[in-house]
Structure formats: C-alpha cells, structure tokens
Structure 1
Amino acid sequence: FIVAMGQSKKIIGIAALGFCLCLGMVLFILACALQGENWWPMFQIVFFILAPLPVGLGLGLSGGGGSPDVFFRQPNQNTFFMDVGLFLGTALGFSGFALPFVLYHAHVITTTALVLSLCGSLIMCASIAAYVFFFLVKKKEPEML
C-alpha cells in the first residue's frame, strides 16, 4: 500500500508538470496569435529546445555517465567538456529569455506579446526545474538499524 501511495504521488507530480508545460505553450501561442498573428516569439522555443543539448553532450564527453550527482566533481576528473556544455546551455537559456526583449525593442512584437511570452517562459522553465529537482535528484537510501 505504501509503495502504491508513492507511485500515485509521482504520477500526480508528472501530470501537474505536464499541465504546466501545456500552459506555457498556450501562453506562447497566445503571445503570437492575439495581436496581428505575429509568430516571431515562437523562435523562443528553439532556444529552450536546444539548451539541454550541449549540457548532455558535455556530461557524456566528460564521463559523467548521466547520473544525477554529476555536479559533484572528483578531483581527478576532467571537467572541460562539462563546463563548456554548461556555459553553452546557460547562454542558450538566457538567449531564450532575452529574445522577447529584443523583439519588443525592435517594435516587432507588442507589450502584450512580450508579457505573455515571458510568462510562458517562466512557467516552462519552472516546470522543467521542478522536474529536475523532484525526480532526478538522488534520494538518500534509508539507513539500516
């Protein structure tokens, strides 16, 4: 029974995160479609799709093995590729947040589209961060008495 309760909490958590991702996508689409059907803010999604790729590639090349605790480095481990991947992933993620401001400054999108795309970005990034925090963090194993 206890195992079933843990599984149902995990399923509810995944469903809530999926709902948040869908809400973020709806806000992106509304930002594009509401005022004049200007679809330039959708390019923001490209940055968020590409952001994890250099991080995963860097972790794979530096021998991280994909374990959740890869950021705890061993003294003799080469972390050059991991550091470059984290840098490029951060640059792509920051560019995803900066693109609506650039488009607004160039008078390509309106204030409404700016606010909606930023809200969509915050919701999507928060849901991805929540997934990493709750589901990919290594759990402490119970100690035997």
Structure 2
Amino acid sequence: MTFLILACALPQYKLWWPFFEIIFYILAPIPTLVARRYSDGSGSSNSCMEAAIFVTMGVLVSSFALPIVLARAAVIVAGACYLTIAGNVVVYITLIGFFLTFDQDDSDYNMW
C-alpha cells in the first residue's frame, strides 16, 4: 500500500489515478475464497475452482495492465507506473502467502 500511496501522492506525480488499484486488490481473492468455500474437498480436479482461478488471473492481469495503459496514455508518469506495479507485486505475494498459510492441514490456522 505504501508504494501505491507514493505513486499517487509524491509531488512530481500528484494524480490519484493509480489509487483505483484498490478495486483490484479487493476483487482478486473473492472468486478463490468463494470456490474454496463451496468445494467438495476432494483432491480431484474441480471445475468451480478452475473457473475461480481463471477469473482471479483475469483480475490480476488487469491490475498490472491498468498502470501500464495509464502510463502509455500519458495520464500518469512512468515513475508512478513503476511504483504501482511494485505495490501490485507486494500485495499479490502477500495474498499468495495468506492462501498458502491457511490451506495447510497440519497447522491450527485451517480452523478459520
């Protein structure tokens, strides 16, 4: 979030367009959380989970594409684009860590 706020608030950037990434941060884990909630728990291939991963990847790719498109259209400066992409990397690595941590069967975290 710090990178995203810096991309919006530094004096040489001064535009709040990169802050729309928050929408993608909220939307990204929702399909996977819903699919895990309604999965049958078997180890076989689950079409609901695969569709959720597909939608999640679409949101993820869109969140990386938005600052690039805004920078190419000269709406934001290239530095703001780089800071936004760095913020995306940090947020999505954190989300992956969340899902890996709470998916383990041998720890007490899976009771949630």
TM-score (normalised: structure 2) = 0.79
- Root-mean-square deviation (Å): 2.1
For the residue of structure 2 that corresponds to 1:63, the secondary structure is: coil
Alignment pair present for 1:90 and 2:57:
yes
Does the 8 Å contact 1:28/1:117 carry over to 2? yes
Report the Cα distance in structure 1 between the residues aligned to 2:87 and 2:96, rounded to whole angstroms: 14
Between 130-139 and 42-51, report the one with greater CA deviation.
130-139
Percent of counterpart pairs with the same letter?
Answer: 35
Larger of the two Rg values belongs to structure = 1
Does the 8 Å contact 1:59/1:82 carry over to 2? yes
**Per-residue CA shift, 1:39-83, capped at 9, x if unaligned?**
11111121121011122223334434xxxxx6x326xxxx23222
Residue 43 (structure 1) aligned to one of 20, 33, 39: 20
Aligned residue in 2 for 1:28: 4
Does the 8 Å contact 1:45/1:96 carry over to 2? no
Does the 8 Å contact 2:29/2:95 carry over to 1? no
Does the 8 Å contact 1:27/1:117 carry over to 2? yes
Matches within 5 A, 1:61-80: 61-64=38-41, 72-73=43-44, 79-80=46-47
Number of positions where the alignment pairs a residue of Structure 1 with one of Structure 2:
106
Does the 8 Å contact 2:13/2:80 carry over to 1? no
Matches within 5 A, 1:1-145: 25-34=1-10, 35-64=12-41, 72-73=43-44, 79-139=46-106
Report the Cα distance in structure 2 between the residues aligned to 1:134 and 1:84, rounded to whole angstroms: 22
TM-score (normalised: structure 1) = 0.63
